[in-house]
Structure 1
Amino acid sequence: MLIVNGIEDGPVDARDRGFTYGDGVFRTFPMSGGRVPHWDRHFNKLARDCAALRLACPQRDQFEADLARISTRHPDGVIRITVTRGVTPRGYSIPDQPTTTRSVAWSAFNPGRHESVLGVRARWCQLRLAIQPALAGIKHLNRLENVLARSEWNDPAIAEGLLCDVQGNVIGGTMSNLILLHKGALRTPALDGCGIAGVTRELIIERARAEHLAVEVDTIDPGMVREADAVFLVNSVIGVWQVIAVDDMTWVVSPFIERLRNWIANG
């Protein structure tokens, strides 16, 4: 099911800047029983990302009306919200008052989304992420690096690929944020040069600090991943996966994963 600017199966103009330039932002999250967990966080993140791109964010009640319509037919599934700068005259220049395009799409859950019970396997990607502080942390529509990185493997036993930037620092997964349990602290990469600062990552950082756990948001090198007591991958759809292998490195399932899951469920 797709709603575009409030119209079910509404048209999307091929001249839309989301198509021509990737000029927009998006959010992806689960809906369960017609409810969106952490909706406040998702909308606030969307609004911040829009502001960072000088993109007018549609009103919250517009999205909520779209979500309510979807939930009457599809109370469970994955929702993707996309906001683009709409159709403008040719050229990169931003008009003074562009008309944004708002879309809300539903899809069924991936049947393999619960594969994390016994842990997942990952691999290192060869692709290196470019550094662009102006776009760092934003979930914008330009995701070609992720597409190319994900195309590096077809093995269904490998759930995710880990990415470094061009300086060799670990940034996260192709579709997830990285959390390490390392020497008694929770560590996650600083995303001031590239990467997406996800809502689940944000929630975990806040909850850990509220419980007075050591949290470090800083540069992480591949050696720190190897030394970690536990490696987790998180996003809003998968929740939290524990990594049990990255190439030749292996870990046992840590009981700490239940704490992370409780934070996500109750955060």
Structure 2
Amino acid sequence: MRHPDTTPAPTPEQLSLLADRAMFIRSETVRLASIAGAGHYTSVFSIAEILATLYYGRLRLTPGEPRDPDRDRVVLSKGHAAIGLYPVLADLGFFEPSALDTYTRLGSPFGDHPDMKKVPGIDFSSGSLGHGLSIGVGMALGARLGGRDYRTYVLLGDAELNEGQVWEAAMSAAHFGLGNLVAVVDNNQLGIDGMTRDTMPVEPLRERFESFGWRVQRVDGHDPGALLAAYDALPDAADRVPQVIVADTVKGRGVRAMEYSPDWHVGNLVGEDYDDVLAEIAAGLRPLEARA
């Protein structure tokens, strides 16, 4: 499917669909984690709207052809959030949804981190943090060398920006003029060791990326309309300036008890807790409170 840069503004029905798909991503994450006995809930909940708007709104892809050379590429650099991406790929027809019932079981293609050799629709076997943007630089260069106009999107965690390799890749992208490369930073303010402002501050993100030669947009990462507008504001893929969308998010968004809680980076819901969380997700997002 092709979504040109001149895509009209989304209708209320389209925005409602995207909100529904974000809810689907959260609820399927809870379900799959119950199969595994643990899961990365909060890391997925912060990117649910980002995944929904990309895959259901703006990516150029053909579900029946996961290796279409003209498809847009997606590198899930925060690979521990793959539990939230698998249901999207199944929903779009890359494989049968029932296959997800084997999640993390012996012999299953669906592991805690994605494997591009086993799961149709996965473009990179990510896991160890810090590598994704370098891979994206290579993919973007590959597009240029091959004379193709696809974009490469790299979804990064904010705490991941502590890795020096990220900034080496950022320098390379600007040096090579990779306007077909788009980084999306999940700025949820919380890493496994605590709040980023306490462990290793990443702000000011706009100024830092701009100093490396990137063009920056900053949006509410839980607002599908704002995310779509950011994608639509991207210049033509032939542009020579790499792009970054800083998406301000809440780790654990959608379940009040999980928001900004390091206890739920990895966890397991059982019994009434499981049912209550699914009910809260189904009730939809409440108005976002001011950040601390």
Same-fold call, TM > 0.5?
Answer: no
Higher helix share: 2
Q: TM-score, normalised by structure 1?
A: 0.30
Q: Which structure shows the higher strand fraction?
A: 1
Calculate the TM-score normalised by the size of structure 2.
0.28
- Larger Rg belongs to: 1
